[in-house]
Amino acid sequence: MSKLEENNLRYQLNNAIDNVITERRIINKLRKKQHRYPKIPEFVKHVILPMDLFDPFNKKQTDIRGTSVIRKLYKSFDVACIPITIPTEKNSPKANSIKQQIEIMIKLNSSRNFLKYYGISNTIDTLIMVNEWAELGNLKEVYNNYDISWNVKIQIALDICRGICFMHENKILHHNLQCANIMMSGYCEPKITNFEYSYYVGDGPSIIPTIDNVINWTAPEKIENLVSYKYDTKCEVFSYGMLLWELAFERIPYQDWDTQKIKYHVLNNNRENINSIKNEKVYEDYFEIVKNAWNQNPEDRDQFTIIFNKLEQLVFRYYKNGISLYLTSKFTHYFTTKPIDELEARAKLWIEDMIEKKVVKSIEWSEFNSDSAEEIGKGNFGSIIKIYWTNDHNYVVCKKLINSSDIQYKAWEAFKHELHMQSRAHSCENIIRILGISKSDKEISMLKI
């Protein structure tokens, strides 16, 4: 090889090397710019894959709350995707706090009075906590936007109390009871949430709340000795009493007061005013519960089980015929119903769509011998009958839902939920099989073997 050829080869080789180096630099720059899915810590239970979260079919303006909470679909359920920061240091105070929050939420998942926790997922650049979607937002938002009737308020108070009783049975203290920490489903069903300051009885809080954030609902013994006094169930009773007052008057206790003024007021055995409520027996009974929870001496406050029994008696005494879950908007001059009607309509359309797409078998009503029909049960939804199916030469159970505007109390949604669950368990021999759906002009029926 001549000297010239050798120089040319060396030149080409150097150029090739320079090109490779340049390409690697470009690739590295692009990689730095590319978004990566953050790693989910090992201690996290119930990891959800990003591909399992879908955009809802019926998008609404309320699907985005604030700047970060987004509604998605997970296993056909509406869920809230909430950005969350989890430190990579396994035993850092923040990581331990989040770990305990997740453990508590999982433990409380079996009660419908708590916002259901589904798991942790990751999107581009962000970890997200996936919780049950609460259609109406929190209770504070509800009372700011809607007029809540007294019968609904008492039912809400009862459901919250039921949840607290369940929580205390599991040796858990919430430590931050207020209306902003109660989420509301589309059926006005309260769901306790926000366990940032919660902990097990006998343990201490991972994070101590700042007094300015909680003093409006804090018991006097805790205000007096914020650090040294150990928060207990009696403190929780007091906070619940303040929550009941907030729900009744639809505003934060001691609104616009500074911390020192509230502290002086409460430590001197003074409370919020209750004189402006109507002078009727149901109000008097309700505020007797509130005043007992407000007692300066913790030992004079009722236990939650007693409070629950008193609220339950109020419901039975004054609302024997049931409670209507309708709300009136504060910003319209005409009566509007809450999203309960919208959800019922969606459930009805979902069922009809299941029939049309043949996901569930459609059976002609003419295939049944109407003369053989025998009613064996009845409810708000309609009735349950035993009827002869001529095509199969056998008797089947038929759950009939009346297709009318008179249906109340979540009948369509309950019907949809049962159909959905039955369809998923169809292959199990130990569960009654669903055969299909039949439809007539006035009724829709679910057929079971």
- Show binding-site residues for ATP: 399
Q: Which residues contact 14 (CB under 8 A, 6 or more apart)?
A: none
User: Residue 84 in 3-state DSSP?
Assistant: strand
Query: Beta partners for 414?
Result: none
Q: Output the known binding site.
A: 399
| Cα distances (Å, whole numbers) of residue 227 to 186, 207, 211, 230 | 39, 12, 10, 8
- State phi, psi for 165 to the nearest 5 degrees: -60, -45
CA–centroid distance for 199 within its chain: 20
User: Looking at residue 114, what DSSP letter applies?
Assistant: B
Crossing angle between the packed helical segments 150-169 and 304-318, to the nearest 10 degrees: 150
Q: Which residue has the tokens 């001691």?
A: 254
User: Of the candidates 179, 207, 206, which has an alpha carbon nearest to the alpha carbon of residue 193?
Assistant: 179
> Is-contact 436 362, C-beta < 8 A?
yes
DSSP per-residue codes, 284-330: HHHHHHHHHHT-SSGGGSPPHHHHHHHHHHHHHHH-TT------EET
CA–centroid distance for 377 within its chain: 32
Q: Which amino acid is at 115?
A: L
Q: Which two three-digit tokens encode residue 438?
A: 């039949």
CA–CA distance, 16 with 248 (Å, rounded to integer): 78
Q: Which two three-digit tokens encode residue 388?
A: 């002869």
> Is-contact 159 190, C-beta < 8 A?
yes
CA–CA distance, 221 with 136 (Å, rounded to integer): 34
DSSP per-residue codes, 4-71: HHHHHHHHHHHHHHHHHHHHHHHHHHHHHHS--PPPPPTT--SB--GGGEE--SS--GGGEETTTEEE
User: Residue 270 in 3-state DSSP?
Assistant: coil
